Amino acid sequence: MLKIENLSKTFFPNTPNEVQALRNISLTIAEGSFTAIIGTNGSGKSTLLNAVAGTFEPDKGKITLAEHDITDWQEFKRATLIGRVFQNPFAGTAAEMSIAENIVLAMHRGEHRSLRIAVTKKAREAIADKVRALKMGLEDRLDNPIGTLSGGQRQALTLLMATWLKPKLLLLDEHTAALDPKSAAKVAELTKQIIDQEKLTALMVTHSMQQAVDLPDRIIMMHRGQIVEDYHGDMKRRVRIPDLYAAFDRVQKRELFDEAVAQMLEGQYT
Ligand SMILES: Nc1ncnc2c1ncn2[C@@H]1O[C@H](COP(=O)(O)OP(=O)(O)OP(=O)(O)O)[C@@H](O)[C@H]1O
Ligand SMILES: [Mg+2]
């Protein structure tokens, strides 16, 4: 289980560029659940994921993951519990190293670095099995540098690496956004398959309403550093793409209304 309590982060505080990226967010993610986070550009989705991963220190708030209070843990220590996949297919893998070597590195994540990367016969068999399950024909190319693969193939492997050690939490930040539609659909399908099979707890940021409706069992909508919608259970099962667009509209209208009221009040008091 992931529990986020009263989490806030302001960038450039007390300057004209001040951004309240997270405003007192509280959120509990059940173990073994798959949640999509949607929201307009700049609404705080990546900041929320980064706060959980420990990329920066929040101004306030508490984060608990799998019974550990990780609030004061540094990023490398959190990485022992958290697997991540980013938007950029080139992040998270070493281009010159082979597929097998990259995966062996992932298998030993969190261990002491002096360890030699050796692709043993046993490891090779395990790797070939899991790579075959991706159904991308990559099992015959285990010794090829990972840099020679397409973006979609690389994201599929990054996903496999991020989940190899069954992390307590999987964080996906628009991990299909840089792929062509066919590869994006394939990686989305693999994502769902791996999360279901390994019974992982996952948070996935996406701008694809199709993915948000099809893949997870919960959808959270963020706006201006806050959670403004939360579809789960039956409500999530019933929600369709037009409902999500309608929610975006509602949020925007509410904001325009608030701004108009603020301007009127300003007019009154100045
Ligand atoms: N390291 C940073 N320094 C300063 N401002 C930041 C930093 N990271 C994020 N922000 C700001 O915080 C706000 C939220 O950004 P964030 O990246 O979380 O948005 P997002 O919802 O992921 O958007 P997108 O859909 O475009 O990826 C934005 O206004 C952004 O400019
Ligand atoms: Mg983002």
Q: Is residue 263 part of a domain?
A: no
- Look at residue 13 and tell me whether its pLDDT is greater than 80: yes
How is residue 217 annotated by DSSP?
S
Q: Is residue 134 part of a domain?
A: no
Q: How many domains does the chain have?
A: 1
Helix, strand or coil, per DSSP, at residue 251: helix
Residue 8's domain is classified under what CATH number? Answer: 3.40.50.300
Q: Is residue 123 part of a domain?
A: no
Query: Of 153, 74, 200, whose CA–CA distance to 216 is shortest?
Result: 200
- Residue 92, pLDDT score: 82
Q: Do β-strands 202-205 and 169-173 pair in parallel, antiparallel, or remain unpaired?
A: parallel
Residue 56 CA: nearest ligand 1 atom is: 1
In angstroms, the CA 136 to CA 125 distance is: 17
Q: Is residue 260 part of a domain?
A: no
In angstroms, the CA 232 to CA 205 distance is: 16
Which of the pair, 211 or 257, is modelled with greater confidence?
Answer: 211
> Does residue 21's CB lie within 6 angstroms of at least one atom of ligand 1?
yes
- Look at residue 268 and tell me whether its pLDDT is greater than 80: no
- Look at residue 53 and tell me whether its pLDDT is greater than 60: yes
- Look at residue 263 and tell me whether its pLDDT is greater than 60: yes
- Residue 115, pLDDT score: 61
> Does residue 151's CB lie within 6 angstroms of at least one atom of ligand 1?
no
Q: Is residue 54 part of a domain?
A: yes
One-letter amino acid at 254 equals R
Closest CA to ligand 1's atom 1: 11
Q: Is residue 138 part of a domain?
A: no
Residue 207 CA: nearest ligand 1 atom is: 25
Query: Of 111, 241, 218, whose CA–CA distance to 164 is shortest?
Result: 111
- Residue 113, pLDDT score: 63
Structure confidence by residue, pLDDT tens digits, 198-233? 999 999 999 999 999 999 999 999 999 999 999 999
Supply 8's token pair.
Answer: 């806030």
Q: Which of the listed residues 8, 12, 18, 19 should we mutate to test ligand 1's pocket, taking the one with most ligand atoms within 8 A of CB?
A: 19
Structure confidence by residue, pLDDT tens digits, 170-197? 999 999 999 999 999 999 999 999 999 9
Q: Is residue 221 part of a domain?
A: yes
Q: Which of the listed residues 18, 37, 43, 55 should we mutate to test ligand 1's pocket, taking the one with most ligand atoms within 8 A of CB?
A: 43
> Containing domain of residue 227, as a range?
2-94+153-239
Structure confidence by residue, pLDDT tens digits, 91-138? 888 899 999 999 999 998 877 665 667 888 999 999 999 999 999 999
- Look at residue 28 and tell me whether its pLDDT is greater than 80: yes
268 CA distance to ligand 1 centroid (A)?
34
One-letter amino acid at 55 equals T
> Does residue 19's CB lie within 6 angstroms of at least one atom of ligand 1?
yes
Supply 79's token pair.
Answer: 């990485």
Q: Is residue 139 part of a domain?
A: no
- Look at residue 239 and tell me whether its pLDDT is greater than 60: yes
Question: How much is the average pLDDT of 78-103?
Answer: 93
What number of helices (H) and strands (E) belong to the chain?
Answer: 9, 10
Residue 45 CA: nearest ligand 1 atom is: 21
- Residue 256, pLDDT score: 87
Structure confidence by residue, pLDDT tens digits, 137-175? 999 999 999 999 999 999 999 999 999 999 999 999 999
94 CA distance to ligand 1 centroid (A)?
27
